[in-house]
Chain A
Amino acid sequence: MRIATAKETYIADEGLLTTRTQRAWMIVLALVLVLAPFVLNAYWLYLACLVAINVASATGLNILTGYTGLVSLGQAAFMAVGAYAVAFLDGHLGTPFLLNIFAAGLVAAAVGVLVGVPSLRVKGLYLAIATIAASFILHFVFTNWVSVTGGMSGVNVAPARLFGIELASPFALYFVIVPITALMVLAAANLFRTRIGRAFIAIRDRDISAEVLGIPLLQYKLMSFALSSFYAGVAGGMWAYFFRVVTPESFPFATSIFFLAAVIVGGLGTILGPILGAAFMTLVPELLKYVVEWLGPVFPNAGAALSPVRTIVFGALIIFFLVFEPQGLAEIVRRIRRFFHLWPFKT
Chain B
Amino acid sequence: MTRPAPGLLAPAHLAVSGLSLSFGGLKALTDVSFEVRPGTITALIGPNGAGKTSLFNCISGFYRPREGHIRLDGQDITHTHPPARAKAGLARTFQNIALFKGMTVLDNIKLGRHAHMKTNLLQALAYWGVARREEMELRAEVERQIIDFLEIDHIRNKPVASLSYGLQKRVELARALAMRPRLLMLDEPVAGMNREETEDMARFILDVKEEWGISILMVEHDMGMVMDISDHVVVLNFGKVIAQGPPAQVQGDPQVAAAYLGSGNPAELMRRLSAVGEAA
Contact = CB atoms under 8 A, between A and B. Distances in A.
A79 interface: no
Interface string A5-42: 00000110110000000000000000000000000000
A213 B98 CA distance: 11
A197 B94 CA distance: 23
A195 B124 contact: yes
Interface of A: 10-11, 13-14, 187-188, 190-191, 193-199, 201-202, 205-206, 208-209, 211-216, 223, 227, 269
A198 B99 CA distance: 13
14 contacts: A10-B140, A11-B139, A190-B124, A190-B125, A191-B125, A194-B123, A196-B119, A198-B103, A198-B110, A206-B100, A209-B100, A212-B86, A212-B98, A214-B82
State the majority secondary structure of interface residues on B. Answer: helix
Nearest to B138: A195
B3 interface: no
B126 interface: yes
Interface in B106-123: 107, 110-115, 117, 119-121, 123
B131 A194 contact: yes
B70 to A, nearest CB: 15
Interface of B: 60-62, 81-83, 86-87, 91-92, 94, 98-103, 107, 110-115, 117, 119-121, 123-127, 131, 134-136, 139-140, 143, 175, 179
B187 to A, nearest CB: 11
Given A14-B136, A213-B112, A205 B127 contact: no
A195 B121 contact: no
State the majority secondary structure of interface residues on A. Answer: helix
B103 A209 contact: no
Contact of A187 (B62, B111, B126): B126
A131 to B, nearest CB: 21
B114 A199 contact: yes
B186 to A, nearest CB: 13
A223 B135 CA distance: 20
Q: Which of A188, A214, A216, A227 has the most CB of B within 10 A?
A: A214
Contact of A194 (B86, B98, B102, B135): B135
Given A201-B100, A209-B99, 15 more contacts: A10-B140, A187-B125, A190-B127, A194-B135, A195-B124, A196-B124, A198-B110, A198-B114, A202-B111, A202-B114, A208-B98, A209-B98, A211-B83, A212-B61, A215-B115
